[in-house]
Structure 1
């Protein structure tokens, strides 16, 4: 076998969201379609997900959540800047709007992140191998400083920097998604010097925005892999600070496999969202575990791994 050209962590996000999400992620892992999962510790089926990860030896990290459901930290569940009058986080865009208006306490953000790490340890028996942010909250202004401090203090080595090469030449992405992804990319690039300063690591290349949901196919995955190999170490990698170049490119592919959530089952307290109830999760699952994708990995010399293997 020739050596791999690309070491890729394929992360199934939202582990713990509901039993059907958990089953899809486990099925995908056992079929060789993913190599890692990211756990929502405030989700309804988090305890079951942690048990499944242990049983099947699925490497998992923390999907830090500040935007959906309720806080884990008990002191923040009644009155805090992070929740609305109903006791739930402000939502994907609501969190960003409150942050922009200066209405969020970073001390409370820190308390919640540390509480979520502690819950992760209680569920799994170990620290997460990596920590990223649900809906990319971990790269937002001010929040990224807190995230970096928590990661450094707890010696969690890896995070996610969502800057995807070739993203702006994807005509199948609608304008509203391009606008949101452009802002995510800007926030992620602004996070790079902060994460570097704290010694946090991440793979050379990030993939997954161009291949989400119905946009996932063998051809879009093939295109993403070619972009990753072309970008190599020219992307803002955590290895860039040392100037080292390695012959094997490292990457993370973010994916969302699972079966459609039942309307009344799952979520983080408010029930499952539209994306979770759609068929798009199952579409991703079927593509990722298809023989054509596994053959693509073989042809392109892609080796799947976990963060602890990087």
Structure 2
């Protein structure tokens, strides 16, 4: 069973009549009518009648604050993208390939009965966490410096449309640097002495980050490349439909927007291959003593 819940402007509208903003081909008709958030009690009843068990929530902070915890309290498993839940001590902030063990925090959510609340990270944090995980296990790290160049689509559909129309978009992303530092620290469960600076750039899709990782000991290119190459998780061992064979992909040429689809064989989008955009592209690898510099690029939509 599947249900789609929307804003007051889309409630009661057939899902197939809603605006399609993605560049990929629209999927076949669903026959789903969008439900509303206004009456939480009625929403809970409707979802129970449909047999819904898991709710994927892409709500912004304000409506998420109103409905996500009540839905968890009603017995649903709520997977939230809202920023407000990410740093709560009883809510696991999960990047599945990195810290699936943090789901043990769900044991602290007995107040929800059979329900649970799980948080997803900032979209820029995911490729950062994926590229850093093998390095964290390779050698003690003394500091990490991050600079990001984030796509217009990361600011939402309206910002992307404005950028495409030629409007000048501010490079400022208020609070983004702090979010990246705080979320990475929670995901890794340690203080990695991270600093970050973030800006919006005039690229439609894909977030690019430049990293400088300072280790406590000398590292070699062989050690680093091997650590990235050998990075696999349970997702790969289970051969899940959206799990790429390799999480880390090395790019010798300059990074271009199509590199956001790494994970599939060839240049494909998720409408063709669910593994597309489920990996990260790494390039510009440099090692100088105990300092590693590289860039990482990934899809953000």
Q: TM-score, normalised by structure 2?
A: 0.34
Structure (1 or 2) with the greater strand fraction? 2
Larger RCO of the pair (alpha carbons < 8 Å, separation 6+): 1
Pair member with larger Rg: 2
Structure (1 or 2) with the greater helix fraction? 1
Q: TM-score, normalised by structure 1?
A: 0.33
